[in-house]
Structure 1
Amino acid sequence: MNTAKPESIALFCLTPGGVALAQRLRDALPVTCFTSEKLLQPGFIPFGGSFAQTVQQAFSQYSALVFIAATGIVVRVIAPMLSDKLQDPAVVVMDERAEHVISLLSGHMGGANELTRELAAILGADPVITTATDVNQLAALDTLAAKLDATMQGFRLAVKTVNQMLVSQQRVGLWWDSEFAPHAERYDTRGFIPVESLDALPELDALVCVTLRDSQPALTIPVYKLVPKRIVAGIGCRRDTPLQTVAALLRQQLVENHFDPLALRAIGSVMLKQDEPALLELTQQHQIPFELFSVDQLSQHEHRFPASEFVRQTLGVGSVSQPAAWLMSNGNLVGRTVREQGVTITLGVSDRC
């Protein structure tokens, strides 16, 4: 997801008043400030070429862009770069007197609404948020997904449908699988109808299920399965193992443990496998990170698992998949380790909630 991270906020100011306001914000948040050469202050970065060119570069490099400028100027400069609400960064606009902070783009998925509220609180300004769910003081499916780092099949249509149902005062249930139920109170679920059991549903028009599982009981209402990315896979393999072999064994592991493939969060291995074609292609296919660990990092947990002298002589550590999965999941391994066709795969469940 493209949820805004505080460390990746680019701030643009075009006037002396904007620079002064930017300096106030720098004291409260780790923002990178850009301005023109003639307004440059210590710690600020000059526009590279022009204001528009600098914004174009920042649009793909930062998860949030904040402008102290007129809304019209901002709309014109970002218009050619707009692509997709699931990918575009958060864009927030404010006036140089800090009277209004406006969530302009990627309010939910990009985190612009949340950033708008944070900036307004810092400045004592009025937050301007126009998304229908927020205006009606309701949660939104895409915001919940972003907070959970979750996804679902047909995400775009599901978000549109569920959010419209919520603002239309239809009854949308929300059920949490056992892994997530204890943490449900952390999330904004206003407007959803709590569901404790799938065997005894209240009267509903639709149901959202938060789960890692690959299947759910058949129900008579529309069901939207929201899958948090929590499953990590430590993988070791012989050099140049075919992608098809590794992919098939990973699918086998997920099916065996009843995990939805969408729950896969990361693949990990030893640093020496950083250019292993099958592992690189697998992470690209799933659009997930490839986490690499040094021999020293893996060796610290090697004693927990069976070791292979052949692997030790080749890589410098007697086990790869299990220590890697252990590190990625904070020791929360699940299922058996597969050892087939020169490939070892161990799954873990990240404790991030």
Structure 2
Amino acid sequence: MNTVRPESIALFCLTPGGVALAQRLREALPLTCFTSEKLLQPGFIPFGGSFAQTVQQAFSQYSALVFIAATGIVVRVIAPMLCDKLQDPAIVVMDERAEHVISLLSGHMGGANELTRQLATLLNADPVITTATDVNQMAALDTLAAKLDATMQDFRQVVKTINQMLVSQQRVGLWWDDDFAGSAQQYDTRGFIPVDHLDSLPALDALVCVTLRDALPPQKIPLYKLVPKRVVAGIGCRRDTQPQTVALLLNQQLAENHFDPLALRAIGSVTLKQHEPALLELAKNHQIPFDIFSVDQLSEHEHRFPASEFVRLTVGVGSVSQPAAWLMSNGKLVGRTLKQQGVTITLGVSDRC
């Protein structure tokens, strides 16, 4: 999923008026500004080859692209690169007089709607947002998912279904598991019907549940789990352990602690294991980061856990999975450490979005 970070916004301007507007925006936002050689100003970057070539390169490097240009030009230049609403960056277009700011692409998942409102506020411009949920002043499931850094089975189809139900005035409930109930007020949930208890539902057409659990009580209405990515796994293993062995043991550990596999946020290990095929394949298959920690980083927390002299002689620290999970979860470990077939796995739950 593509979530806009302020430091990853590329801005393109094609005219003197666009350059002047970009200079105003640079005072308020950390932007990387591109323009042509003949319009170049201090702090701007010249197009590399051509405008289209520069946009093509930026499309995969930045999470948001802002254009001070005609909408038609922008549509033509980005059209060959469009792939997927879950992958494409936010695209925002504005005129050089700063009268209108248009959310053109990836309004929800990419954050273009939010960025459009931010830019419009800075410029006292008119934000142009056309997504149905926003027009109807309702929350959107994909926006909520992006804010929570959450996902779900059949994400694309479920988002389409739930958002359509919301704008059609159907009754969609929203239940927060105990781990998230305390922060529910931070999120835009307009249009959803709050649900406090799964055993006493109000009249609903569907129910969305924010949870890490692998299973919930069955309901008589369609139930969709929105799973925040919060679970981390510190992993140690012998060299050349088979990838399927590590994968099976991780799934076993997740199941033992009743975590949905979709909740997995990252795995971590010691520097010596940074090229371990089983761990690299695991991270690739789950599409999650593989965090690497030095011996010194792990040693700071080694005293908290039982140590193995064999492991110390092999990697330089007496424990790998537990201090790695401790660091990734800020000390919030869960369950027992699994130790089987030369593999150790420790789970933790991170509170970071």
* TMscore range, shorter length: over 0.9
Displacement of 1:352 after TM fit?
2.0
Please tell me whether residue 257 in structure 1 is matched to residue 257 in structure 2: yes
Distance in 2, matches of 1:84 and 1:67, equals 20
Residue of structure 1 in register with 2:48 after alignment: 48
Residue of structure 2 in register with 1:303 after alignment: 303
Alignment size in residue pairs: 353
Residue of structure 1 in register with 2:97 after alignment: 97
Distance in 1, matches of 2:128 and 2:299, equals 52
Displacement of 1:168 after TM fit?
0.3
Displacement of 1:310 after TM fit?
1.0
Distance in 1, matches of 2:342 and 2:49, equals 53
Query: In the TM superposition, what are the counterparts of 1:1-353 in structure 2 within 5 Å?
Result: 1-352=1-352
Distance in 2, matches of 1:298 and 1:28, equals 40
Calculate the TM-score normalised by the size of structure 2: 0.99
Q: In structure 2, the residue corresponding to 1:61 is in which secondary structure?
A: coil
What letter corresponds to residue 30 of structure 2 in structure 1?
P
Cα shift readout 1:184-216 (whole Å, capped 9, x = no counterpart): 000000000000000000000000000000001
Structure 2 stretches lacking a partner, 5+ long: none
Distance in 1, matches of 2:124 and 2:268, equals 44
Displacement of 1:123 after TM fit?
1.1
Same amino acid, percent of matched pairs: 86
Cα shift readout 1:86-142 (whole Å, capped 9, x = no counterpart): 100000000011111000000000000000011111111111100000001000000
What letter corresponds to residue 223 of structure 1 in structure 2?
L
Cα shift readout 1:257-304 (whole Å, capped 9, x = no counterpart): 000000000000011111000000000000000000111111110000
Distance in 2, matches of 1:82 and 1:334, equals 41
Distance in 2, matches of 1:139 and 1:249, equals 38
Q: In structure 2, the residue corresponding to 1:179 is in which secondary structure?
A: helix
Displacement of 1:144 after TM fit?
0.2
Distance in 2, matches of 1:98 and 1:318, equals 60
Displacement of 1:314 after TM fit?
1.1
Distance in 2, matches of 1:184 and 1:13, equals 39
Distance in 2, matches of 1:24 and 1:323, equals 47
Distance in 2, matches of 1:26 and 1:302, equals 46
Cα shift readout 1:218-264 (whole Å, capped 9, x = no counterpart): 10001111000000000000110000111111001000000000000
Displacement of 1:68 after TM fit?
0.3
Displacement of 1:217 after TM fit?
0.5
Distance in 2, matches of 1:161 and 1:114, equals 22
What letter corresponds to residue 79 of structure 1 in structure 2?
A
Distance in 2, matches of 1:23 and 1:295, equals 46
Distance in 2, matches of 1:61 and 1:100, equals 26
Cα shift readout 1:307-349 (whole Å, capped 9, x = no counterpart): 1111111111111100000000000000000111111000000
What letter corresponds to residue 221 of structure 2 in structure 1?
I
Displacement of 1:63 after TM fit?
0.5
What letter corresponds to residue 320 of structure 2 in structure 1?
V
Cα shift readout 1:45-104 (whole Å, capped 9, x = no counterpart): 100000000000000111000000000000000011101111000000000111110000
Distance in 2, matches of 1:337 and 1:61, equals 38
Structure 1 stretches lacking a partner, 5+ long: none
Calculate the TM-score normalised by the size of structure 1: 0.99
What letter corresponds to residue 225 of structure 2 in structure 1?
K
**Stretches (4+) displaced over 4 A:** none
What letter corresponds to residue 76 of structure 2 in structure 1?
R
Displacement of 1:3 after TM fit?
1.1
